[in-house]
Amino acid sequence: MTLHKSTETAGMTGMNGSNGMTGTVGATGHADTACAETTDRIVEDYLTLVDDSMVAVLPHALRIAVELGIADMMNALTPQSVATTADLVGADPDALSRLLSALAAAGFFTGDPATGFRLTARGARLRRDHPHSLSASLVNAESQLAWLRAADSFRTGAASFGTGDEDGEAAAGGFFGVKDNRRAENLAFLRRMRERTGRLYRQAAETVDWSPSSVILDIGGADGFLLGGILSAAPHASGILFDRPTVIDEVNRRGGVPGCRTVPGDFFVAVPTGADTHLLCSVLHDWTDEQSVDILRSSRRALAPGGRLLVIEMLVPEDGSPHISRWSDLGMMVLTGGRERDRAGFTRILHAAGYQVSRVLEIPDSPFSVIEAH
């Protein structure tokens, strides 16, 4: 069974910035050869903001630009006066002018208060309708709230999400249980997942060879955005979209996913039988090793004989180099109690559930990989 366009790979390279370990000139001005530091652009930019005690301002400025819908009311061709934009989004003109000036200097807009502003390619990603929109992620208040309490995660090793919430009962279900009780949060989550999948790994649909697959089960497939893309690339196959009942209700309300059966359930209990290909995309990183093995065992029990499992996740590089997965690892700990893993970590949990890794495929232009197991 093959994954085409495949280069068998032993690990991951970083998507952002350099992977190299380089000696740097430290604050003292001396070349620091005793303790080589990594260069990571995210860290460099962050430290510049810390230097000016402005660390929180950029994320908040971007969030507010999205909340006000500024980019949705502008275009890339014609400069729009601050007064018109203020009128369209319901903002104070002076406050908006200052926000646009700061975000223009950061490359999201171009222009000035006298001539007006228009969107840049970067700023267009603040629009809700952009194919690689960042809008749902930038307004992700639940993650920001969890991080305010996150020191507890590092004391206890458990997720901080939902702790200290005024609505203690609703928050008791953890990251996903809360969404079962609060429809608006469930819908915001599904929008975030769709954006993130589109930005980071939807091209998996064109990367994998689907010719051996007849029935593809997406376990924890959210609103079916990825599975829909896969079925377009593999029109001979049919799909089963499996997720929490409150997610499947939303999908059905929108008319489902073409070529797909939708099935609600709990992957800790069982997943549907009848598929020869199982997908687990960005699911295992939400859970501890023990919980992940339980999910993988549910898959193993249901997979058709001779079938394959495809796990789409980031692989933490084993060489200590910078990679977005290192930040995501902390994010998972705080939000869900889960973790990111290196190749050995995935091999271990897959093996514990009765799976053997057959190959790992890097997804082009993505920090994600496809791990194929039988």
Ligand X SMILES: C[S@@+](CC[C@H](N)C(=O)[O-])C[C@H]1O[C@@H](n2cnc3c(N)ncnc32)[C@H](O)[C@@H]1O
Which residue of this chain has its Cβ atom nearest to ligand X in the complex? 220
> Minimum Å distance from CB 296 to ligand X?
13
Per CB under 6 A, contacts with ligand X among 110-149 are: none
* Catalytic residue check, 374: no
Q: Is residue 244 involved in binding ligand X (CB under 6 A)?
A: yes
Q: Is residue 220 involved in binding ligand X (CB under 6 A)?
A: yes
Owner of token pair 């010719």: 211
> Minimum Å distance from CB 318 to ligand X?
24
Tokens at residue 345, please? 């970590």
Instruction: Find, among 253, 283, 277, the residue nearest to 368 by Cα.
Output: 283
Name residues whose C-beta falls within 8 Å of residue 73's C-beta, 6 or more positions apart in sequence.
80, 85, 88, 89
Owner of token pair 């949990």: 349
Please state, as a whole number, how many other Cβ atoms lie within 10 Å of the Cβ of residue 48: 11
Out of 222, 241, 302, 350, the only residue in the binding site for ligand X (CB under 6 A) is 222
> Minimum Å distance from CB 268 to ligand X?
5
DSSP 315: B
Task: Indicate the residue type of 80.
Answer: Q
Out of 79, 102, 176, 229, the only residue in the binding site for ligand X (CB under 6 A) is 176
Pairing relation of β-strands 109-112 and 116-119?
antiparallel
Residues in contact with ligand X, shown as a per-residue x/- string from 189 to 208 under the rule CB under 6 A: ----x---x-----------
From the candidates 4, 30, 132, 285, give the one annotated as an active-site residue: 285
Out of 142, 243, 313, 362, the only residue in the binding site for ligand X (CB under 6 A) is 243
User: Residues 65, 126: contact at Cβ < 8 Å?
Assistant: yes
Q: Is residue 287 involved in binding ligand X (CB under 6 A)?
A: no
Instruction: For 100-118, give one letter per residue: b (16+ CB within 10 A) or e.
Output: bbebbeeebbebebeebbb
Closer to ligand X by CB, 244 or 278: give it. 244
Tokens at residue 195, please? 């954006």
Closer to ligand X by CB, 267 or 346: give it. 267
Q: Is residue 334 involved in binding ligand X (CB under 6 A)?
A: no
3-state secondary structure of 331: helix
Q: Which stretch binds ligand X (CB under 6 A): 97-105, 108-116, 204-212, 240-248?
A: 240-248
Owner of token pair 């366009």: 5
Tokens at residue 35, please? 């303790």
> Minimum Å distance from CB 285 to ligand X?
7
Per CB under 6 A, contacts with ligand X among 254-283 are: 266-268, 281-283
Out of 286, 313, 340, 362, the only residue in the binding site for ligand X (CB under 6 A) is 286
> Minimum Å distance from CB 276 to ligand X?
19
Closer to ligand X by CB, 283 or 303: give it. 283
Name residues whose C-beta falls within 8 Å of residue 130's C-beta, 6 or more positions apart in sequence.
124
Structural element, H or E, at residue 191: helix 183-200
Q: Is residue 335 involved in binding ligand X (CB under 6 A)?
A: no
> Minimum Å distance from CB 102 to ligand X?
32
DSSP string for 64-127: HHHHHTTGGG--SSS-B-HHHHHHHHT--HHHHHHHHHHHHHTTSEEEETTTEEEE-HHHHTTS
Q: Which residues participate in catalysis according to the annotation?
A: 285
User: What is the contact surface with ligand X in residues (CB under 6 A)?
Assistant: 176, 193, 197, 220-222, 226, 243-244, 247, 266-268, 281-283, 286
